[in-house]
Amino acid sequence: MASHGVAKYNRAARTEEQRQQDLEKIEKYRQIEDSIRSQASAGTYDTALFQLTSKLLRLNPEYHTIWNVRRRCLISSLLSKSSTSNSSPDTMPTPHEDQSTSTTEQSASSTAADADSDADILRSELAFTVPLLVEFPKCYWLWGYRQWILEQAVLRLPTATATSIWEGELALDSKMLTKDRRNFHAWGYRRYLVARLETPELRGKSMVEDEFTYTTKMIRVDLSNFSAWHNRSRLIRRLLDERGADDKARAAFIEAELDQIREALNVGPEDQSLWYYHRYLILQLIHHSQESTIVPNLTVEERISYIEREIEDIKDLIEDYDDIKWVYEALLEYTLALGQLRQASQSTGGDDDRQNEELQTWLAKLRKLDPMQAGRWDDVEKELKSRRETT
């Protein structure tokens, strides 16, 4: 009903034989579905019903109601009863919440055999969904179901066992991201796994260094992986805080990031992922008062000097890459930001006439290289004009 990338074919062109095959498939599918419905409406969420859901979900992992039936079977029949009271849907914690139920308390009340059996069942649930996830990596319900299974592990298993299951999940997520480096389900899932692993219920220690290293690794494989750049941008603040980085260390950090992205831009200036990350770094330097930044104590003069250096380097890019629109877009944006910084600090520098001329040249380039955004360039031009009039 929502097909992506499926080549066109003629529906009416089925042969009678193909039609018969379809009808047989439909009958088989609907038989399983009917059995599940009649059992579920009778309220017998037992092993037999559980096995029927396996059959149907292998045919159709998008069928979310069947995943719910499966969860009910697990709670009612397969998993141990000891912590059933904690597994009702409403108590499912979010990664941001500090959870009140104590794992140790529960494992004391349930027998070790229960925990072993629960661990086996939960592991087998994760194994059941792996081939489906590989085949349907964008199926929301599958990711949601795995998340629920993992929360059951936290509720029911000793910390060490639960942690090893969650760590296995992180390894699987890395595999999914090797297959599709941009899968936003897998990136979101990764952030969720890490946030939960960091809580005292599981590993209980920060993983920010490891995760930062992971983004470095992903970026080395593919500079165009904006998902990895994005994740990097979201880790830096915590990374520096946890390192206890002083002002000098912070300045050194942003310099190293700028060096890295500058090198990459010298090789691939047409790569918009690189420009977006560069823009992120520049925003840290511009430091609007309402936003926090990774380099909070740089003086305005230092900020100005960093941005000037970036602008000069980008101008050098024009010599080799005269026809890349991103170059001009960056020059325009950063130069205007620099002007505001200078104004705020009342510092002089930059010849206004020369700068206006440059801005006009870049804008003209943008109009030529990126005519699809003509309306945007019109607006920029109006803004430039009104700025000139007010200064």
Partner 1 sequence: MSGIQELPDELQLATAQHVKYIQSLDTRKDEYDYWLTEHLRLNGLYWGLTSLYLLRHPDALPRDETIDFVLSCQHSNGGFGAAPGHDAHMLYTVSAVQILALVDALDELDKRGQGKAMVGKFIADLQNRETGTFSGDEWGEEDTRFLYGAFNALSLLGMMHLVDVDKAVNHIVACANFDGGYGVSPGAESHSGQIFTCVAALTIAGRKDLIDVDRLAGWLSERQVPSGGLNGRPEKKEDVCYSWWVLSSLAMIGRTHWIDREKLIGFILRSQDLEQGGISDRPGNMADVWHTIFGLAGLSLLGYPGLDAVDPVFCLPKTTMERVLGKAR
Q: How many CB atoms lie within 10 A of CB 240?
A: 18
Name the segment binding partner 1 (CB under 8 A); options: 200-208, 312-320, 356-364, 369-377. Answer: 369-377
Q: How far is it, in rounded angstroms, from Cα 53 to Cα 63?
A: 10
Q: Which residue has the tokens 């101008």?
A: 315
25 binds partner 1 (CB under 8 A): yes
Closest CA to 144 of 106, 176, 189: 189
Q: Which residue has the tokens 């740089």?
A: 298
Name the segment binding partner 1 (CB under 8 A); options: 20-28, 105-113, 245-253, 311-319. Answer: 20-28
Measured from the CB atom, the residue of 110 and 152 that comes closer to partner 1 is 152
17 binds partner 1 (CB under 8 A): no
Q: Are 231 and 183 in contact (CB under 8 A)?
A: no
43 binds partner 1 (CB under 8 A): no
Identified binder of partner 1 from the candidate list 2, 42, 127, 171, rule CB under 8 A: 2
Minimum distance of partner 1 from residue 238's CB (angstroms): 11
Q: How far is it, in rounded angstroms, from Cα 154 to Cα 167?
A: 12
Q: How far is it, in rounded angstroms, from Cα 150 to Cα 193?
A: 9
Three-class DSSP category at 351: coil
234 binds partner 1 (CB under 8 A): yes
Measured from the CB atom, the residue of 167 and 271 that comes closer to partner 1 is 271
Q: Are 55 and 132 in contact (CB under 8 A)?
A: no
CA distance readout (Å), 323 to 114, 279, 331, 333: 67, 20, 14, 17
Closest CA to 225 of 180, 167, 292: 180
Identified binder of partner 1 from the candidate list 354, 371, 389, 390, rule CB under 8 A: 371
Q: Who contacts 132 (Cβ-Cβ below 8 Å, separation ≥6)?
A: 57, 58, 61, 139, 142
Measured from the CB atom, the residue of 110 and 225 that comes closer to partner 1 is 225
248 binds partner 1 (CB under 8 A): no
- DSSP single-letter state for residue 75: I
Instruction: Give the footprint of partner 1 on residues 92-121 (CB under 8 A).
Output: 92, 94, 96-97
191 binds partner 1 (CB under 8 A): yes
123 binds partner 1 (CB under 8 A): no
374 binds partner 1 (CB under 8 A): yes
Give me the residues that bind partner 1 (CB under 8 A), please.
1-12, 19, 22-23, 25-26, 29-30, 37, 59-60, 62-65, 68, 71, 89-90, 92, 94, 96-97, 140, 144, 147-148, 182, 184, 187-188, 191, 224, 226-227, 230-231, 233-234, 271-273, 276, 279-280, 283, 371-376, 378-379
